[in-house]
């Protein structure tokens, strides 16, 4: 279909900033993404539905490669993974960061080179490690002392596996307590403060089956300031220098993780990627020069910043309820396809699409269909006062940590994922159905 924009429709520049670059206003309140009207997707694939702009994903991959030309950029698969996403990331030259045998096997069976994959996880199962070794994963990030002997034993006397050590650098950063991972009061990594990281390095260097290629840290998620990364990098370089002094080993890699913050609503801050790349590189060169260290290769692991802004969630309004001064708009999805508001208090900016409205806006709470008072998708948002059942809502910045964290709550089924690109829509992941639940439930 050929899309003709309606240039007379006023669209605030701040609002445009949170939509995919391909977003185009259409007549009668419509919007197109990737050249496809969102109303057409809702009619064709039903709702709820998740729309993923392939061009936006690829463009963000290229932006990272350009900002970090000398680094290894690994897409964090936990943000969202599908066979199509694996292909896009592979073709754009990124590596992958996975957290389970499931993510790893999906990637490899979709054609991703295993040597470009890093396996994470604070509690790796035997199945995770077996899959990593069987498939030839590039790196395993050691997160606890017990993993050292487990991996060495699984490798066997004649094998050798490249590993890294996840270090807790003592840096607090991130948009919520539950996603701050750089301090000693959480479950990830080995501490600098109590010597756990240093002890793990010593043990690994004594295991001939393990090749220590570098250090890893990840300080949190939704970080919008460069400074915490610089503080963490200084501490990591300091540890690398101490390892050199104690063991005569110069580690060739330093992985600074991800957590790069994006804006979910107009006017919210986002991490300046250009500034991050420039200042990390400068700090790394300066710190290594001062410590007389060879500059290690930098690795980074963006996930949300690659796929988050490329996604749009579509919901159909089921009910509108006025309770005192509050207006509740209930839609046909909710916390089963997006638990982030309930978990982290995240706020979104839904928009009415598919019709124009002259009504004044009202402060509205968009809620889901699930049997939980906390099933709120968007609190205190401005929507037209005449919103009604049957209307269509589009929620931008919905590509990351929504479907990947989706559940089977109330057996409503997880939504479909639809890719759009150059005027074409295609189904990537079909909608989960009652038949799926029946086929899994084999008890009597």
- Which residues participate in catalysis according to the annotation? 371
| Helix, strand, coil share of the chain (percent; to 5) | 35, 25, 40
Q: Give the helix/strand (H/E) hosting 62.
A: helix 54-67
Can you point out the beta strands (E) in 338-436?
351-353, 361-367, 376-384, 392-396, 416-421, 424-429
Which position has the token pair 């969202």?
A: 80
Q: What is the token pair recorded at 35? A: 């050249």
- Asked if residue 302 lies in contact with residue 223, where contact means CB atoms within 8 angstroms, the answer is no
User: CA-to-CA distance for 60 and 53, rounded, in angstroms?
Assistant: 11
Q: Which of 239, 231, 215, 240 is nearest to 294 (CA)?
A: 240
How far CA 158 is from CA of 153, 220, 278, in Å, comes to 11, 37, 42
**Omega into 53 within 30° of 0, i.e. cis?**
no
Please count the helices (runs of H) and the strands (runs of E) in the chain.
Answer: 13, 21
Q: How many residues does the chain have?
A: 444
Using the CB atoms, write b or e for 71-86: b if 16+ within 10 Å: bbbbbbbbbbbbebbb
Residues 6+ apart with CB under 8 A from 192: 167, 168, 169, 170, 198, 235, 239
Q: Give the helix/strand (H/E) hosting 317.
A: strand 311-323
Q: Are strands 361-367 and 326-331 parallel, antiparallel or unpaired?
A: parallel
User: CA-to-CA distance for 346 and 341, rounded, in angstroms?
Assistant: 4
User: CA-to-CA distance for 409 and 54, rounded, in angstroms?
Assistant: 29
User: CA-to-CA distance for 344 and 218, rounded, in angstroms?
Assistant: 19
């Amino acid at each position: 279909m050929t899309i003709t924009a309606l240039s007379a429709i006023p669209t605030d520049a701040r609002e445009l900033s949170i939509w995919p670059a391909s977003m185009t206003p259409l007549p009668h309140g419509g919007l197109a993404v990737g050249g496809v009207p969102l109303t057409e997707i809702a009619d064709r694939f039903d709702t709820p539905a998740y729309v993923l702009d392939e061009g936006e994903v690829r463009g963000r991959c290229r932006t990272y490669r350009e900002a970090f030309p000398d680094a290894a950029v690994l897409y964090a698969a936990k943000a969202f993974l599908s066979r199509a996403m694996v292909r896009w990331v592979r073709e754009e030259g990124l590596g992958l960061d996975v957290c389970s045998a499931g993510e790893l096997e999906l990637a490899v069976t979709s054609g991703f080179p295993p040597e470009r994959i890093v396996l994470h996880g604070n509690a790796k199962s035997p199945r995770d490690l077996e899959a990593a070794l069987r498939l030839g994963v590039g790196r395993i990030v050691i997160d606890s002392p017990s993993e050292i002997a487990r991996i060495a034993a699984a490798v066997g006397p004649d094998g050798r596996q490249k590993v890294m050590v996840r270090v807790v650098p003592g840096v607090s950063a991130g948009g919520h307590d539950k996603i701050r991972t750089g301090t000693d009061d959480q479950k990830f990594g080995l501490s600098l403060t109590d010597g756990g990281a240093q002890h793990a390095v010593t043990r690994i260097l004594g295991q001939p089956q393990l090749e220590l290629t570098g250090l890893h840290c990840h300080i949190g998620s939704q970080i919008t300031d460069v400074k915490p990364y610089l503080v963490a990098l200084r501490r990591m370089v300091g540890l690398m220098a101490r390892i050199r002094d104690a063991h005569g080993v110069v580690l060739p890699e330093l992985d600074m993780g991800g957590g790069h913050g994006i804006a979910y609503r107009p006017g919210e801050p986002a991490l300046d990627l250009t500034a991050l790349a420039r200042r990390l590189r400068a700090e790394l060169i300066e710190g290594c020069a001062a410590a007389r260290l060879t500059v290690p290769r930098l690795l980074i692991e963006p996930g949300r910043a690659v796929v988050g802004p490329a996604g749009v969630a579509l919901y159909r309004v089921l009910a509108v309820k006025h309770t005192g001064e509050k207006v509740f708009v209930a839609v046909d999805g909710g916390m089963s396809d997006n638990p982030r508001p309930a978990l982290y208090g995240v706020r979104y900016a839904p928009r009415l699409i598919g019709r124009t409205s002259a009504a004044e806006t009202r402060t509205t709470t968009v809620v889901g269909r699930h049997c939980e008072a906390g099933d709120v998708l968007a609190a205190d948002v401005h929507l037209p006062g005449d919103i009604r059942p049957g209307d269509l809502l589009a929620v931008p910045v919905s590509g990351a940590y929504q479907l990947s964290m989706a559940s089977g709550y109330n057996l409503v089924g997880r939504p479909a994922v639809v890719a759009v690109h150059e005027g074409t829509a295609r189904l990537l992941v079909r909608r989960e159905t009652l038949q799926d639940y029946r086929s899994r439930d084999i008890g009597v």
